[in-house]
A and B are shown apart, each in its own frame.
Chain A
Amino acid sequence: MRVGVLVLVVGLGACGPGGASQQGFLDTPLVTVASAAGALQLAVYSNPQPPVRGNVAIRYRVTDSMSQPVDGLTLEVVPWMPAMGHSTSVVPTVSAVGSGVYDLSNVYLFMAGQWQLRTTITGGAADSATPELAVQ
């Protein structure tokens, strides 16, 4: 009986939508954007994905033109609603995980609609990127 339950649980875990990582991010990015200078690619994941209004976890996977992960960057992210002309009062926290992965916490998208993640990149590259998210 216990073996049966274990098999069922493992089986269900393998059937997640799109396959989720241990941190709850899907394997497929929500959107991928090029940096303003074109030197970097940012694959953007959200949890939940697609994002719903509230506190959303965001993951960037940053690669160079050779598709190699880029570490050592410093990212400053400002969530912005372009149609409304406002940001949020909560500042996202960025953590470098390694292998080109940067996790953003406290991304407080408190209204439904189109949000931008205005991202300034320093440290090894002076660049910027503006992924857009449709928040439900």
Chain B
Amino acid sequence: MTLHSAPAEVGRNPWRFDASPGTLRTGYPLTMQSCPPVRLIVVATLGFLGCMGPAGGAVSGAADTHCIAADGGAIAQDTSAAACHVADANAPMPEYGETRYNAQSADDDCKYDVQLTVTPVRQAESVTLVVKVTARSDGAPVTGATAHAEIFLNDTHPAPNAGTSTVEAPAGTYTIGPVKFDASGRWTARFHFFESCADDSEESPHGHVGFFLDVP
């Protein structure tokens, strides 16, 4: 964007927009030499406004009920470190549950409660995903889960490479980023926990849950 100082005749309308796209013309006699702080403020403001487009994020929808029993009680699958072992080479593909609406859900096997926080989602901007994982059995933070995110628009469109990494802090809270999105639409972010444990027993710590994310 180019910032111009304007001639005196536009002084009655000090902040009028020029017809040229991407050009702001002001009535104030602004020059880099005469008033650099004002110019900096204007440029900074315009830059800020440029980031204020519509933002996406988690998608509102029906509350997740897959871990509520018919009698209304909560289903909570216990896990055990003793049930963690390397997968068999011929292990079948894990069965994923439905992708979840909203920003909170139990994982697919009712082992964990997962709360998702997302920074504003816009195309080509770095986004950070924060997942807080607690055990459904006792509400304790789930530590050492080595959370990974698998992010895709559809089965032929993964998220572009962005040097994503995961940090756990505080215990049971995993910050995953940066993540980038290169198309608008309804994406899926599927989180995997304890992937080094085979998903072959009910008590295995292995877990996964997917959330919808809208990208405007």
Decide yes or no: A108 and B195 within 8 Å by CB, A88-B150, A89-B152 being known contacts.
Answer: no
* Chain A positions within 8 Å of B129 at CB level: none
Q: Which residue on B lies nearest to A85, using beta carbons?
A: B87
Decide yes or no: A89 and B161 within 8 Å by CB, A84-B87, A111-B195 being known contacts.
Answer: no
Give the distance to chain A from B189, nearest Cβ to Cβ, in Å: 11
B-contact 0/1 string along A29-54, CB 8 Å cutoff = 00000000000000000000000101
Instruction: Decide yes or no whether B171 CB sits under 8 A from chain A.
Output: no
* 8 Å CB contact of A83 from B86, B157, B160, B192: B86
Whether B91 pairs with A90 at a CB distance below 8 angstroms is no
CA distance A86 to B87 in the complex (A): 9
* 8 Å CB contact of B91 from A85, A88, A108: A85
Q: Which residue on B lies nearest to A82, using beta carbons?
A: B89
Whether A90 pairs with B152 at a CB distance below 8 angstroms is yes
CA distance A81 to B86 in the complex (A): 11
Q: How many residues of A contact B (CB 8 A)?
A: 19
Instruction: Decide yes or no whether A26 CB sits under 8 A from chain B.
Output: no
Instruction: Decide yes or no whether B184 CB sits under 8 A from chain A.
Output: no
* Chain A positions within 8 Å of B192 at CB level: 86, 111
Whether A86 pairs with B94 at a CB distance below 8 angstroms is yes
Whether A91 pairs with B155 at a CB distance below 8 angstroms is yes
* Chain A positions within 8 Å of B96 at CB level: 89
Among A76-107, those with CB < 8 Å from B are 81-91, 93, 106
Give the distance to chain A from B100, nearest Cβ to Cβ, in Å: 15
Whether B195 pairs with A55 at a CB distance below 8 angstroms is no
Whether B195 pairs with A84 at a CB distance below 8 angstroms is yes
Q: Which residue on A lies nearest to B197, using beta carbons?
A: A84
A-contact 0/1 string along B144-159, CB 8 Å cutoff = 0000111110011111
Among B56-102, those with CB < 8 Å from A are 86-89, 91-94, 96
CA distance A54 to B94 in the complex (A): 20
CA distance A25 to B92 in the complex (A): 32
Whether B200 pairs with A93 at a CB distance below 8 angstroms is no
Instruction: Decide yes or no whether B108 CB sits under 8 A from chain A.
Output: no
Closest CB pairs A-B (n = 10)? A85-B87, A85-B91, A54-B161, A108-B158, A90-B158, A84-B195, A110-B150, A91-B155, A55-B158, A111-B148
What is A's interface to B at a CB cutoff of 8 Å? 52, 54-55, 81-91, 93, 106, 108, 110-111
